[in-house]
Amino acid sequence: MIKANAVTKVVDTSEGSLQILRPISFEVKSGESVAIIGASGSGKSTLLGLLAGLDQVTEGEIFLDNEALHSMNEEERAILRGNKVGFIFQSFMLVQSLTALENVMLPAEIAGLDNPKALALDILEQVGLKHRAHHFPNQLSGGEQQRVAIARAFITLPKILFADEPTGNLDAKNSEKIEALLFEMNREKGTTLILVTHDNELAEHCDRQLTMNAGELVETTGANTINRKEAV
């Protein structure tokens, strides 16, 4: 489903070029759940951004569902994201001036799906928030906002779901709930999950863990381990 081949990322700063990612290679199979773990600043969010097509690689190749993400422009990547990718963020990233329902409808409308409202209500029911459909994000608790975000992520039945610290802003109780919901939905919809976290417990729920350190992929644990040499 995802294939990263010697991916690097270099950014220009006022003090010269800074290499954020050293050549990284790995593969993720369809339906697999993979956690990218590592300390703050290790480059895991940068890697997520590249894999999801939010940013452009400096060198290397990324194939997402057999499509060459690295050679696409921003417009092509946007279309690809709309059709195949779902997102969940640490800070929920809901549009504050849209209701829960409208936030969930948003990707369905962008992708041009039929009857987005019915789809959204249906999925809101699945996350247990149908009764809060017409509330605005600031009228919802953090846990509720993240459930809305999960509903939004799954409405288009994406092939791949990227989650960036999905429980990072939540208390322990809410974290557990969200974690459970996320993996349940993931299983149910057969989605490939790429999850960035520094929560080892959350990472262990995934089929596999990729550990990042100073821009390098240093360790791969869990099932389906690929050749580590290739990753260095």
**Where do contacts with another protein occur on this chain (CB under 8 A)?**
45, 48-49, 52, 54-55, 74-75, 78-83, 85, 87, 89, 91, 93-99, 102, 106-107, 109-112, 136, 138, 152, 164, 169
In whole angstroms, the minimum distance from the beta carbon of 7 to another protein comes to 15
Instruction: For residue 141, give both structure tokens.
Output: 């608790």
Instruction: Render 93-137 in DSSP notation, one character per residue.
Output: ---TTS-HHHHHHHHHHHTT-S-HHHHHHHHHHHTT-GGGTT--G
Closer CB to another protein, 70 or 81, in the complex: 81
CB of 212 to another protein, least distance (A): 15
Q: How crowded is residue 216: how many other Cβ atoms within 10 Å of its Cβ?
A: 17
Q: State which residue, 97 or 200, has the beta carbon closest to another protein.
A: 97
Give the shortest CB-72-to-another protein separation in angstroms.
12
Question: What is the CA 161 to chain-centroid distance, rounded?
Answer: 5
CB 188 within 8 A of CB 151: no
Q: Which is nearer to another protein, 169 or 213 (CB)?
A: 169
Q: Provide the token pair at 51.
A: 């894999």
97 phi, psi to nearest 5 deg: -95, 10
Q: How far is the CB of 81 from another protein (least distance, A)?
A: 5
- CA separation for the pair 121, 136 (Å, rounded): 15
Nearer to another protein, 15 or 229 (CB): 15
* CB closer to another protein out of 171 and 204: 171
Q: How far is the CB of 225 from another protein (least distance, A)?
A: 27
Contact 2, 162 (CB under 8 A): no
